[in-house]
Structure 1
Amino acid sequence: MPLPRPRGTHVSASHTVWDRALDPVAVVRSGDEVEVLTQEASGGQLGPGSTAADIAVLDLRRINPVVGPFFVEGARPGDALVVDVLSVDLDTWGWSALIPGFGLLADEFPEPYLRTSAVDSTPGGGGVQLLPDVVLPLAPMVGTIGVAPPEPGPHSVVPPRRWGGNLDIRDVGPGARVVLPVGVEGGLFSLGDVHAVMGDGEVCGTGVETSALVRVRLTVAPGRAPASPVVVTDLRTLRLETTLATTGVGDDLLECSRDAVRQAVDLLVEERGTSREDAYLLLSLAADLRVSEVVDAPHWVVTCHVPRRLLPGWPHV
């Protein structure tokens, strides 16, 4: 079924840069709820019938559009803007891709690759049908959320910064709270880049990118600006299942991360018979990358936690 009809006041106007000079799309009071209709991360360049050829010609200036900005009355530099995520209603399809130059193993996956997925969020629905034999449970989350920086813009919406942005924190879903430092008068809050499901780390560079209807509450906490965004999680955003965790061990956290993911890719290829591209995509959606040990510096341990149901027979003993 299509996205639900918006309820009450809603906004769908989008932009692709952070800029304190942008005119607000709406003025709201502290404690107000707003509803936004977000576009999938390509900004309309991809659809259910797209192919890898469309990835090769993506206009990267149009990716990660966010809806806003909202001017919150009473929000001033030094305050915190508290964002409560109330609901995230998903579209019926999404896409995941390997985009040349993006992702933890970008040098090992240089060619464009695309998977579109059916997204079934009806009660008792099937979740995300990524591959014929892989259905992932839904875990809606907001990837890009933030306020305007005080420095003159424009600033790319893609990299995260102190003021929020493309944080891609998997726990920013329904029931979660995000606390942002306010950098300019009114905050100028925006959000977008919704995923139907994504693993911690988003290792290939994409989740299941989809459009969504997102409802949030915006509240000003005077004088309570954190040094950088803080997320208060909700039980609904946690993964409660057993995992198989591959490891990366060494003196470079980035290389440890790459080693852990590379080993997990190899296991999925060997055990499930998937292509390396599909294995890498699957890890970006379903696996969680964690820093597990930093106490024995300069030796670090990074783990890539793969749901056990994806590798049920390993090891064979």
Structure 2
Amino acid sequence: MSHSFHVHSHQQHLKWSSTISPIHTVPSGSIVSFDLRDGGNNQITPQSASSPSSALSSFDLTQADPAMGPVYVSGAEPGDVLKVEFLELTPADYGWTAILPGFGLLSDEFPEPQLKLWDLSNLSASSSSPRKATFKKGIEVPIKPFLGVVGVAPPPTMGPLSTIPPYPMVGGNMDCRTATKVGCTLYLPVNVPGALFSCGDGHAAQGDGEVCGTAIETPVKATVRLTVEKAHVRATKGYRLNCPHYTTPEPSREEVESEVQERAKGEYAALGIHENIREASRMAVRGVIDWLVAERGLTREEAYMLTSVCAGLTMAEVVDMPNYAISCSIPLSIFTDSN
């Protein structure tokens, strides 16, 4: 795909701020390519497999979730909307998932570090069959690339902000697997002239919630189109953006067939119920982990990471106070054995 502007992996920042100088100034409608570092800032590599404990003990969380950019989009003014179309996402030939002490939904229950390296070298983007990576013998995880970090600079009165949390007026580290895959269009509120767009945190696959704190983290080559939508376009319809919005593409025939096959095999789910949404989520995730250990023979650490990589986490019920109901489900299609 042809493009005129490229952002290199060293052109990064760890704060959202209106004071960061742009890498490029591009016209509205421009296609921009990026070499993106992974969410760990490339601190984990295939060579980490030789000494995983050393790689994790030296892991610096303050360097996590770097954003590559920013890009100044001409014509973007506060009140406008930046339309981001995701055209190409190509993962590297490796990925990793880790349990990092003190990080994750169940961090108090998993104090020991754990690292899983994934081989993504045999994945062909042109293949019509679903791409999968091996978690361990008998478990194959579908590869569905997307970007975890996509955002714009905050208003000058709000910066600088860490790139680790998401923010309503920025976007940022949203980790929303349905918003930033190829074919999706993301709409972000513009807070400063030029919008100052950046992205990063490539994922080869992730479950809802990214519950252990990591997905299949991987460097990604990304290509996006950046277009300014002027404020009056939505104002004439009576609303404006105060948080990210997005649309998803119509699935291809191959995607529909693959989803039908996956759904035909069903899923196993646990329903967490608690007056606190976070605790309900913890209960649901814990239930799936217990099942994976008891019925599928995984260690608790393996089960936690697998849930982070491919589980669905859904707010099943939020109106009957005082309790919330959160569902955590694991697709049975990932299991290739007969158990």
Query: In structure 2, what is the equivalent of residue 169 of structure 1?
Result: 176
Matches within 5 A, 1:1-317: 8-12=4-8, 13-50=11-48, 51-119=52-120, 120-122=122-124, 123=127, 124=129, 126-150=131-155, 151=157, 153-162=159-168, 163-171=170-178, 172-223=180-231, 224=234, 225-236=240-251, 240=259, 241=263, 242-310=266-334
1:108, distance to aligned residue in structure 2 (A) = 0.3
Deviations 1:196-254 (A, max 9, x none): 00011111111100011111111111114411011212345999333222100121111
Distance 1:7 1:118 in 2: 30
Distance 2:18 2:123 in 1: 36
Task: Say whether the 8 Å CA contact 2:14–2:66 is kept in structure 1.
Answer: yes
Distance 2:91 2:161 in 1: 28
SS in 1 for 2:306: helix
Distance 2:2 2:295 in 1: 44
By percentage of residues, which structure has more helix? 2
Say what the alpha-carbon RMSD is for the aligned residues. 2.2
1:177, distance to aligned residue in structure 2 (A) = 0.9
Return 65-74 or 49-58, whichever deviates more.
49-58
SS in 2 for 1:277: helix
> Number of aligned pairs?
311
Question: Percent identity among equivalent residues?
Answer: 39
Task: Say whether the 8 Å CA contact 1:16–1:64 is kept in structure 2.
Answer: yes
Task: Say whether the 8 Å CA contact 2:139–2:336 is kept in structure 1.
Answer: no
SS in 1 for 2:228: strand
Distance 2:219 2:119 in 1: 13
What TM-score comes out, normalization by structure 1 length? 0.92
Task: Say whether the 8 Å CA contact 1:246–1:303 is kept in structure 2.
Answer: yes
Taking a change above 3 Å as real, the CA distance of residues 217 and 126 of structure 1, as seen in their structure-2 partners, is: closer
What TM-score comes out, normalization by structure 2 length? 0.86
Task: Say whether the 8 Å CA contact 1:90–1:121 is kept in structure 2.
Answer: no
Query: One-letter code of the match for 1:93?
Result: Y
1:302, distance to aligned residue in structure 2 (A) = 0.4
Runs of 5+ consecutive residues of structure 2 not aligned to the other structure:
235-239
Distance 1:266 1:287 in 2: 14
1:8, distance to aligned residue in structure 2 (A) = 4.8
Task: Say whether the 8 Å CA contact 1:20–1:148 is kept in structure 2.
Answer: yes
Distance 1:86 1:161 in 2: 24
Query: One-letter code of the match for 1:175?
Result: G
SS in 1 for 2:329: strand
Task: Say whether the 8 Å CA contact 1:55–1:112 is kept in structure 2.
Answer: yes
Distance 1:189 1:263 in 2: 39
